[in-house]
Every structure is written in structure tokens, then in C-alpha cells.
Amino acid sequence: MTAAPRTIMLQSMQRPKRRRKASLRIWVPIGVIVLITLGAIIIPMLYNYDPLKSDLVSRLKPPGTTLPDGSVAIFGTGQIGADLFAEMMAGARVSLIIGAATLLIAGVIGVLIGLLAGYYGGWLDTVLMRVADIQLAFPAILLAILLASVLGQGVMNVIIVLSISNWVVFARVARSQMMSLKSREYVEAARTLGLSDGHIIFRTLLPGCLPPILVVATVELGHVILAEAALSFLGVGVPLGTPSLGNTISTGTQYLATAWWISTLPGILLVALVLATGILGDAIRDRFDPRLRSA
């Protein structure tokens, strides 16, 4: 057998393996995210979780303990006696809500700014991108801490802070895509037909910009959830009366020697959620743009 047919045969044998690997990289993180999302919605309701209810008799019980009411604390209990599993899922629900709302606000604002800057160019592009450069000069987490300290604690304030901190990423990606697409033949044809700038931007060019924006949104979801946990951990994010993975981890640091599970298990859940979004974003990037495919 000559070299060329052998190479073709080897490539044909490797294609199914690559497809299976690519499918696993997409469906496994999707499964993790969906499972956590469903748990965040259902588990607190099944457990009748109340973040303000305390049960001092059942506090700081290790995982697997049978409580006085006959229920089993799968992940143990916290410092006020609440079931840690329900507390984690309630915290995940808040984190996912903040993440989704932040991506919606930051995405809409950032994409709109990026589309306008990339399409019109000139002084508008210069002004908008210099504002973006100034913001990028500050570390995102430090900017978020500064804004959160000024606005105070609260779920809505955290969403505003993280939206201000993350719009630049969407603007940069949308501008880059717009600049690469606006000189294409079909755009020139749309101008020749007399279509308005709004129609060209939002009906002709925006669909071509969506794949990289989708990739950025997937990856940024993990970053936003991690940033929210960091703000809550530092005491400038979600108030203590509201369940949050960051608050639970922060509170558990006081009991690491005697109740390690209070910080460790929410930390594992947070890592799993952030890793799943990162892997999913990487896989979507490979699917939409093979030129950026990771090794």
C-alpha cells in the first residue's frame, strides 16, 4: 500500500474519534451546567430552604448525618444548622441569575457599542475604544470591588457592577467582527440597494458577528460567576441574608479546622460550574472557528 492511500485511510479512521471527542467536549459541560441549574431551581424548594432559619441543635454536622427530624444532611449542615446541600443550590441559583442578567446587560451594551464603532469608524470609534482602553487599564476585579464599595451590597448592585466591568469584552469582539465584515460584497450590495445603516448593521452584519459573541458569552458566564463569588467572599457583594456560594465559602473559613465541608463543598461546586462554562466556550469556539482550534 502506497503512502497516500495509507494516509487517507488513517485520516478516515481518526475522524470519528475527533467527532466523538468534540461531542463530549460540548455535551459533558452542557450536562454539568443543566444539572446544576435544575438543582438550583428544584432543591431549595424540596428542602423548604430558608436562609434566615436557624437550627442550633443541628449546626456543624458532618456529611451524611441524620438530623433530629429524620432527614439526612447529605453534605452536612452549616454554622446556623441549615442543610448545606440546599444552601449550596440556593447560592448557585443566585449566582446563575446574576450571571445571566450581567451577560444580558453587558452583552447588549457592549455589542451595540462595538457594532457602531466598527461600522462608522472615525471619531466615534476613537472615542469609544479609548474609553474601553481606559477601563482595560484597571484590573477587572479591582474595578468591580471599587464600584461595589461605592454602590453597596445587593443583588442588583452586583449585576450593575459586573455589567460595567464586562461590557468591554463584548464591544471589542463585536467591533473586530464588524470591521472584518463591513467590506464584504454582500454589504456593498446592500448599500447599493439603498438599505439604511440600521438595516445593514442589525439585519445584514449582526448575524455574522454572533458566533464569536456567543463564544465570549459562554466563557464570560464562568468569569462573572467567579467574580460574584469573589465580591461576596470579600463582603461587598450579595448581603449575608441572601444565599451565595461566596458567602458560604467565606463563612466556612472560620470553621476549616472543625467543619471543613462548609467551605470545601461549595468551592468544588463553584469550580465545576466555572470549568464547565470554560470548556463549553472553548468547544464552541472550535466548532465555529476551526482556525482557532486548540490542540
Query: Which CATH number characterizes residue 82's domain?
Result: 1.10.3720.10
Q: Whole domain around residue 130: which residue ranges?
A: 40-47+74-292
Overall domain count for the chain = 1
Banded model confidence at residue 160, pLDDT cuts 50, 70, 90: very high
Task: Examine residue 160 and state whether it is found in any structural domain, yes or no.
Answer: yes
Predicted confidence at residue 13, as pLDDT, reads 47
Task: Examine residue 248 and state whether it is found in any structural domain, yes or no.
Answer: yes
Contact 280, 218 (CB under 8 A): yes
Task: Examine residue 67 and state whether it is found in any structural domain, yes or no.
Answer: no
Task: Examine residue 137 and state whether it is found in any structural domain, yes or no.
Answer: yes
Q: Determine phi and psi for 178, rounding to 5 degrees.
A: -65, -40
Predicted confidence at residue 11, as pLDDT, reads 52
Amino acid at 44: P
Task: Examine residue 1 and state whether it is found in any structural domain, yes or no.
Answer: no
Contact 184, 205 (CB under 8 A): no
* Model pLDDT for residues 172-189, shown as the tens digit of each residue: 999 999 988 888 888 888
pTM: predicted TM-score of the whole model, two decimal places: 0.85
Task: Examine residue 104 and state whether it is found in any structural domain, yes or no.
Answer: yes
* Model pLDDT for residues 74-126, shown as the tens digit of each residue: 898 888 888 899 999 999 999 999 999 999 999 999 999 999 999 998 898 89
**Distance linking the first and last C-alpha atoms of the chain:** 30
Task: Examine residue 18 and state whether it is found in any structural domain, yes or no.
Answer: no
CA-CA distance, 177 to 241, in Å (whole number)?
Answer: 43
Task: Examine residue 34 and state whether it is found in any structural domain, yes or no.
Answer: no
* Model pLDDT for residues 216-233, shown as the tens digit of each residue: 898 899 899 999 999 988
Which residue do the cell numbers 438530623 mark?
67
* Model pLDDT for residues 6-65, shown as the tens digit of each residue: 555 445 545 565 566 667 778 888 999 999 999 999 998 888 888 878 888 888 888 888
Average pLDDT value over all residues in the chain = 85
